[in-house]
Structure 1
Amino acid sequence: MLSHAHRVVIVGGGFGGLEAVSGLAGLRAEITLIDQRNYHLFQPLLYQVATASLSTSEIAWPIRNLVRGRSEVSTLLATVTGIDASARQVILSDGERVGYDTLVLATGAQHTYFGHDDWEGIAPGLKTLEDATTIRRRILLAFERAERAVDPGRQAANLTFVIVGAGPTGVELAGTIAELARSTLAPDFRRIDTRTARVILVEAGPRILPGFAEDLSAYAHKALEALGVEVVLERAVTNCTADGVTFADTFLPTRTIIWAAGVKASAAAAWLGVTADRAGRILVEPDLTVPGYPEIFAIGDTVAITGPTGDQVPGIAPAAKQEGAYVAKTIGRRLRGKPAPPPFRYCHQGSLATIGKRLAVIDFGRVRLRGSLAWWIWGFAHIYFLIGLKSRLSVALSWLWIHLRDQRGSRLITQGEVPTDKISPDLHSTAR
């Protein structure tokens, strides 16, 4: 038995980090959870905040509230900038150092522009609540600008929405923006017909949803086109400007570009000076420890590890939760003086993606579902994993209202002042 409480520091309050905190309950350990935001975010529904279907409070919860019943857990709102592995200390942006006996890195990922970081201000990605409200603001402002535009070219550019990347996030964004334009907003405007809006999904690869079976990918492609989405395949984006996007030597005027083309890991590998893959993910040992540092674990989007079939473990919430639970179990066995568990083994529980409010695809491996039934299963699965009865009821009611009335209740233009000079010279109010 240890004479003092073991110090466990967990960096990141996402799915993996919180699962590790949960699994460490009952141990003689002092746990410090560090995150640069004060909330836990349910990222699978982030696109619904970006497309005015849900509010921010429905998919995010204060971390302190989630762990308030755990007296051994301390929460720090801080940004980690490095690790002094020899001193076993985490370095924060203000210079403070936090000591650890065991460290768990669950630092997540961010979108990558493949060497074109200057595109970020023009084509925002979707990883945080700030990203979601920025995208929502740009989408809604585009319709407002189109309503005030006199020049047909400017109006058309404002009514053109380009999503780069056709993974689940890109597909979900494209389908929902198309429904927003064709159903929700159509009765609200007088000078424009929002149903004429163009929603264009650009993918550099040969098909959308490349992580799904080909038949489900083909189904999703046809379903998007039925919603009015233009799907452009095997065309890489070569430039993004405030005036439009260029792909395959074609320039398309647009005022709204959304980036969903790829992610890169945090700087955790650089902090430790260890080997990483092309996306910056640490190549961990089978027990999820960092090579050369048995006291440091890394999980979630921070790592690259293969599953039982030899395929890469996907960067999705269930994988992070399984890894977090495994790490907590390993730490517990170490503290109790018991043998280590077998190497981590990922159990794939299926891939899900929604296309529209009544359409989805689900790939369970041998079992594949599509259409309305898949949409209902997708909805129930997401509601189940939300935190708290209030959030589950709130999201369920929001979806029911959208399903029955085609109305989305979070169509608020917030986050700063409306750039009135770009809408019309005589519009000076601030939208809230």
Structure 2
Amino acid sequence: MPSDLPDVSALLDLRVTALSVVLDLVRSGRAATRPEIERHTGLGRKLIAQRVDELLAAGLLSEGSFGPSTGGRAPRQLQFVADAGHLLVAHYGATRMGVGLADLTGRVLDLVDREHPVADGPEPALEAAFDIWDKLLRRRTGERPLWAAGIGVPGPVEFSTARLVSPPIMPGWHGFGIREKIQQRYGVPVWVDNDVNAMALGELRAGEAQGAGDFLYVKIGSGIGAGLVSRGALHRGAQGVAGDVGHTATREPWGVTCRCGKTDCLEAVAGGAALVTEAAAAAARGDSAVLAERGKLTVEDLRYAAERGDRITIELLSRSGRLVGEMLASVVNLFNPSLIIIGGHVAEAGDSVLAAVRQAIYEQSLPLATRDLRIVRSMRSDMVGVTGSAFTAIDELFRPSYLGGWIDHGSPA
């Protein structure tokens, strides 16, 4: 027989959804009082009061001074408690790692950046992070507890399992249990994502793309990848590998074998590792005196040579930008973003990269798709990765389906 009693699970889902919506409005700064929350949500005053009281009791919101009155009693200002918990954050690139602590607004509180070849394997990479985290945590003894960890890695990640799948530049990382290793040591929930997805999220939440609905973040570093944001949300795709553009084939044949085993992948011709190899060959031939004097080359040496007008280096950087731009022209026609942000060490090595990217996109994309398109360089490439790794965890912590599992216990740890 059908029951006249309400579906308890449905009521709980509605409660948690309302908690998540209210919390999101306050922590994003879109609403600061109960009346403002009512206007944004359309929910009743009594329901809003109940949800706010729950979030106050949970320590996620606090009340401040009185806000402006609209005719009646002045409402209390609501504030998100950013330091209710802290996050472990780490962002790995091919040759460097950034490891630190962040608060619940994504603000990085402490950060250590150091060289570390990700190809050395997962155990050394995590041990290096553990060493840094332990030192940072000892420095902050007595402060708020750890709530979660967010990690970015330069390879394809199945987001639901937090495991890398056949990463071309990361030998030994396939299927490695990053989440399990960190959980065993620190006892917190862990989320792992591709490094470029994290960089896109960092730009969306705290960088050049704030307020953008549809944009691309493109990293041109040792490898090449893209993070896609659609309607204000990161688009990972069915398995989490959306945006892996570095392994698309170039239009023209080069005869270069990529680290993934295929031929003429974009990053095998236009990525930082490929450019450094060609620059070293040019220096050995005596084609560039500037490069020859630098010894063993890195992307930083390409920046040095480009700043001094070295023809070989500028040609290599321009070629990289052109090839990336040709790939992006197809993406622009398909996706129609309003903004493209170019970051990574190669993009920072010279203005010729960005100029060539822009030229190829504007020449080869549809006029309507580029009419209002902005193409800019990232202003904070050194920070967007770790900031985005923090938001990788923050967004999941406060998602209704996850929030409901811990809100009544006071902490997700």
TM class by shorter-chain length? under 0.3
Between structures 1 and 2, the one with greater helix share = 2
Between structures 1 and 2, the one with greater strand share = 1
In the superposition, the TM-score normalised over structure 2's length comes to 0.27
